Homo-oligomer: A and B are copies of this chain.
């Protein structure tokens, strides 16, 4: 099986009563600095603060009656965990999330806050997979993988459909790339609607598994990369890779410094809260890896979930 642009259009119709049509923002200061016209599709303003809600909702709405009754399981300590938890709550489907026991308490609490059950595992790939397999065997859950799932990929692609409607014709579209769900869904949607628009993936230099995988022609996993872009530490999924090979024009990278500078630039100039992963495509524009001179460029801002403790601890210490 694969996925067509029509599948993504169908996903857009399916999830439209549940998702926010997020705004597209522009800023003179960004355009002046890079010489292009940049359109930020603000999925940080999506429900649960990330595009992940689109894919999760699309998957949950396609369950059979038997699957709905048994419930779904996934593994994630990031935005997909809360996204699936909320999707399940809205659709009346039980949700179980496997999280490493080392995950921050706040992530666990947020996921449980949406009514999901959280099951801890050891922070290893082997134990995570074993725990998920055990839950499926014992409780009959259906798996909703965070990115290696056609229903999820279709849902993620719906943001690009909206972006093209909102921004008008684009010369290129750039997304972050972690597991590849957003990039592959975006690529199918954009190439289906506007075949001459280039689609570019961006990742931290320290987690450049997509770039290396494309060069070598097979998936090269990242080994626990240390990057501030915590949403992009995962390696490509198989389905995602098959789409990216076919439809994505280039993968570019950004250093840690580039990422933080770009994140700060967006916070200061757009006054929106974006997470480090979202800053990666902006970083690749500002550091010159993508030439945007005179071009109309769409960027998918993937999410806005940032740990604000350090800033607020500082403000409290200064003030109280």
Q: Which residues of A contact B (CB under 8 A)?
A: 23, 42, 44-45, 49, 226-228, 256-257, 260, 263-264, 267-268, 271-274, 276, 304, 308, 310-312, 314-316, 318-320
Instruction: Tell me the complex Cα distance, A44–B269, Å.
Output: 10
Chain B nearest CB, measured from A83 CB (Å): 15
Chain B residues contacting A320 (CB-CB under 8 Å) are 256-257
Chain B nearest CB, measured from A273 CB (Å): 4
Question: Which residue of B has the minimal Cβ distance to A314?
Answer: B310
Chain B residues contacting A23 (CB-CB under 8 Å) are 23
Chain B nearest CB, measured from A260 CB (Å): 6
Chain B nearest CB, measured from A319 CB (Å): 4
> Which residue from B49, B304, B319 sits with its C-beta under 8 Å from A228?
B319
Instruction: Tell me the complex Cα distance, A314–B310, Å.
Output: 7
> Which residue from B260, B308, B310 sits with its C-beta under 8 Å from A267?
B308
Chain B residues contacting A319 (CB-CB under 8 Å) are 226-228, 256, 260
- Asked if residues B273 and A273 are in contact (CB atoms below 8 Å), the reply is yes
Instruction: Tell me the complex Cα distance, A319–B259, Å.
Output: 11
- Asked if residues B318 and A228 are in contact (CB atoms below 8 Å), the reply is yes
- 14 CB contacts below 8 A, A to B, read A42-B271, A226-B319, A227-B319, A228-B319, A257-B320, A260-B312, A263-B315, A264-B308, A267-B308, A268-B308, A271-B273, A273-B273, A308-B311, A310-B314
Chain B residues contacting A42 (CB-CB under 8 Å) are 271
Instruction: Tell me the complex Cα distance, A237–B228, Å.
Output: 46
A260-B315 contact given A271-B45, A272-B272, A272-B273, CB 8 Å threshold:
yes
